[in-house]
Amino acid sequence: MNILKIFTLLIVILSVSCNIEFTKDFEIASADHENKLVINSHFIKGDSIIEVYLKSSKAVAQQAIQPELINPYVIIEFADGIERQLIYNDSTELYELSLENVQITAGDQIKLEAGAENFDVVFSSQIVPQEVNLLSAELEANAYYDIILDPWDKLTIELNEDNENDNFYAISLSHLGFRFARDSIASEWKSRIFPVLGNMYRGGFDRHVVFSDSDFNGLEIEIPFRTIFPKDSEGQLKSIRSEVILESITEERYLYLKSLAFVWQAEDNPFVDNFDLSQNIENGYGYFTISNVDRIELN
């Protein structure tokens, strides 16, 4: 009988406890966020189209639904002073403009304006960078499997740079055996070049690095790194073809990618210093950047 009473009492207690509503909120301190327009756009001289991502911002801890844009628009003004409005593509969710009949040359200033009825107008502009010609590219590669015993490979490129301005670059290779991952680059170089993910550029390149010529003589650059190549049954490198792709980028693009590299390097350690992404959108967030490209087949 006593066992039955105890069992009944336990059922009552559990039933009551299951119906208790926990209404206390625990707030986590976070920085105030002002909702603004966000622009993400990068295009390469020679592209057939300009694409612009336009949305409203939203804080990570913000519970409200991301504000919808009322009558949004994006306008690009080229060096000829003519403004062209971009068309929204429902399938890509991007604003697009065909460059079929547009002449773009190095040194041109290209301006961007975007807005919506419920947001402040945002602005940005870029000067199309000069093309820097690749004169030669050579890779010294080794066919070892063991990364501990594998000596450093070395990519050497020679540039034709005849201006006195500060220059900024992004370099990648079209073959996926080349991986400019941070752990594949010699330690003395990690403070001079900044590996970033390949999806920042079109073409599906696995990795690329960004750097300035302030650490170089402006003519020849050597990058020691490790490669991942297809090898035959005897461990020898198979015959492959690859291009070296050199992008001459604006300073704004360089600062954005450099700060992005720092953010990614710190993502596994939440207690390191915070890095603010470099941006160039006035009254908003994001970036609008341009680059110029040269390619050469790797020897």
Query: What is the per-residue DSSP string for 208-244?
Result: EEEEEGGGS-SSEEEEEE-B---B-TTSPBPP---EE
pLDDT at res. 181: 56
- Angle subtended at Cα 107 by Cα 102 and Cα 109, rounded to the nearest 5 degrees: 65
Whether the Cβ atoms of residue 240 and residue 211 lie closer than 8 Å to each other: no
For residues 133 and 223, which has the higher predicted lDDT (pLDDT)?
133
Token pair, residue 137, equals 């590219």
What's the distance, CA 232 to chain centroid?
Answer: 34
- For residue 93, with 0-12 CB atoms within 10 Å meaning exposed, 13-18 middle and 19 or more buried, which class applies? exposed
Q: Residue 239: pLDDT above 80?
A: no
Q: Which region among 13-27, 38-52, 222-236 has the lowest average model confidence (pLDDT)?
A: 13-27
Q: Residue 158: pLDDT above 60?
A: yes
For residues 197 and 218, which has the higher predicted lDDT (pLDDT)?
218
Token pair, residue 93, equals 């969710």
- What is this structure's pTM? 0.77
pLDDT at res. 199: 41
- Beta pairing partners, 55: 38
pLDDT at res. 122: 97
CA distance 211 to 240: 26
Domain boundaries of the chain, sorted by first residue: 37-127, 133-278+292-297
Strand order in the sheet with 133-140: 133-140, 153-160, 220-225
pLDDT at res. 205: 39
Strand, helix or coil for residue 163: coil
DSSP summary character for residue 188: G
Q: Does domain 37-127 have CATH number 2.20.110?
A: no
Q: Which region among 69-83, 139-153, 237-251 has the lowest average model confidence (pLDDT)?
A: 139-153
pLDDT class of 112 with cuts at 50, 70, 90: very high
Q: Residue 260: pLDDT above 90?
A: no
- If one counts every other C-beta atom within 10 angstroms of the C-beta of residue 287, the result is 23
Strand, helix or coil for residue 158: strand
Q: Residue 262: pLDDT above 70?
A: yes
pLDDT at res. 202: 39
